[in-house]
Amino acid sequence: MVASGLLFLAVVMLARSRLIEPAPLDFQFRNIALIAGALLSFAVVSEFVNMLAGIVVMATIACYASDDFSIPRTATIAAALCVMAFAMKRLLGVQLPLY
């Protein structure tokens, strides 16, 4: 029922698109690819190595998405996030496979 409702809406949307003015689509692949890549590499590295390495890899890939990438700042951010992860494990009792 929901699927047929969606199909109906899709048909109406297609009909509407014939009537309205086309608008340009602003789509930048680089940043979303880097951010999604950062998340995926965090998951993969955490699964096969450990979460600390995952955090470092994630921070490095993610920082590359910003327009003012610098290695010292990336290293500082990664270190700060690792400390935060330790604090979450020790103080809040969140079960993180850090090492």
Partner 1 sequence: MDHLEIINNLLFGFEHALSMHNLMFCAIGCVVGMLVGLLPGLGPLATISLLLPLTFSLPPTGALIMLAGIYYGAQYGDNVSAITMKIPHASSIVACIDGYQMTLKGKTGVALFSAAVSSFIGGTVAILVLAWLAPVLSNVALLFGPVEYCALVLFGFVCVSFVTTGSVLDGLAMCFVGVLLGQVGSDIETGGQRFTMDIVSLSDGIQLVSIALGCFGIAEITKNLDNKEHRSPFSGAIKLIPTWPEFKRIIPSALRGSIVGSALGIMPGGGPVIAQFAAYAVDKKLSKFKHEIGQGAIEGVAGQAAADEAASRTSFIPLMSLGIPENAVMALMMAAFIINGIQPGPQMITKHPELFWGLVASMWIGNCFLLLLNLPLVRIWLSVFKIKYSSLFPAILFFCCVGTYSINNNIHDIYTTATFGVFGYIFLRFKLDPAPLILGFILGPMLEENFRRAMLINRGSFAAFVTHPISAVLVSMVALFFAWQLISFFLDQRKQRAERAAAAAAPARVAETPAE
What tokens were used for 54? Answer: 């995952």
Nearer to partner 1, 5 or 22 (CB): 5
Q: What is the DSSP string of 59-98?
A: HHHHHHTSTT--HHHHHHHHHHHHHHHHHHHHHS------
Dist. CA 31–CA 35, nearest whole Å: 6
**Count of residues interacting with partner 1 (CB under 8 A):** 50
Shortest distance, CB of residue 7 to partner 1, whole angstroms?
Answer: 10
The reply to whether 6 sits near partner 1 by the rule CB under 8 A is yes
Q: Tell which one of 35, 49, 53, 75 touches partner 1 (CB under 8 A).
A: 35
The reply to whether 40 sits near partner 1 by the rule CB under 8 A is yes
